[in-house]
Structure 1
Amino acid sequence: MIIYPAFLVGYHFSGDAKDHTETWKSGQMHTLELAYAKVFKYGGPHGGSKVYYAGSDFSLSNKYDFFVAPKIGINVGAGFMFGTELQLQTNFEQFVPRIMPYFGIGGWGGKFYIGYNFRLAKAESLPVNTGHIGITWPIKGRVKKSND
């Protein structure tokens, strides 16, 4: 097993957002992801990995308001991967906790994936997209080998 820290940099795109009544659309959203991760790489060149991470998403184009989404997450896989993250999306006036399961391809911190944001509470005017597609790339830190 090899363990190393990584900074994750990602871009996410979402289509039409809906509020809890699903009566209006906020349009397309572009989001930047910045996170710190701990990567656990197992096996040889075709082995698997698990990644724990904490960071935030930053809205780049929401026509109603700027928002950030501090988050924690985990993903596992070996080529095909799946994961989930818990986000606390906020515009600094209200916040919406969400959980987003996702799946895609990738490993060792990098991923190309699709996911769906499930709202855990209501916010009257915080439009956050539900469907989600993204790509994340790891910037590796110093590698530490383990005998476990």
Structure 2
Amino acid sequence: MSEQILGMIGLYGGAAFGILGWWFGRRMAKKQRGLDELHDHIWQKARSISWYFTLGSTYVLFSLILFGIEIKAGMLLGIIMLVHMASWGIIGVILSINMNMTEPLKPSRVKFGISIVAVSLIIFAILSITTGNWWFLIASIPPSTLGLISALTPDKSVTD
């Protein structure tokens, strides 16, 4: 019973904080005249690219089911939603940073960093699902952080 209450708090509390964050961010961007065509283009492109990650995660999860790993529907939908929202946010941040820098990020470094994040999340998610111990997902935080740093750090060898 307490798990259900905590689940409800997490589900609706997360949605409430997400909506508040979205509203507050748009309000601040509007004050700084940041809601323009470039902003719309960046976030539409990020949403479009995030669907590829969602499709990939769906195939991975279906493959796990085919290999005999039982996953509940709520967990499947939660993972797919997390992959979609996280990839949308991360790609949107990367595109925003890249569009507003004087020297754009190298695509190879961005792809490498995103690959590190994706591979670590997939490996630790599979470990978590197969063992039933969700604490393995915490182990994916350090490699994911390194991947994000690698993707978002401009190349320092560029000469002016």
In the superposition, the TM-score normalised over structure 2's length comes to 0.25
Q: Which has the larger radius of gyration?
A: 2
Instruction: Compare the two structures and name the one with the higher helix fraction.
Output: 2
Q: TM-score of the superposition, structure 1-length normalised? A: 0.26
**More RCO (CA 8 Å, sep 6+):** 1
More strand by share: 1
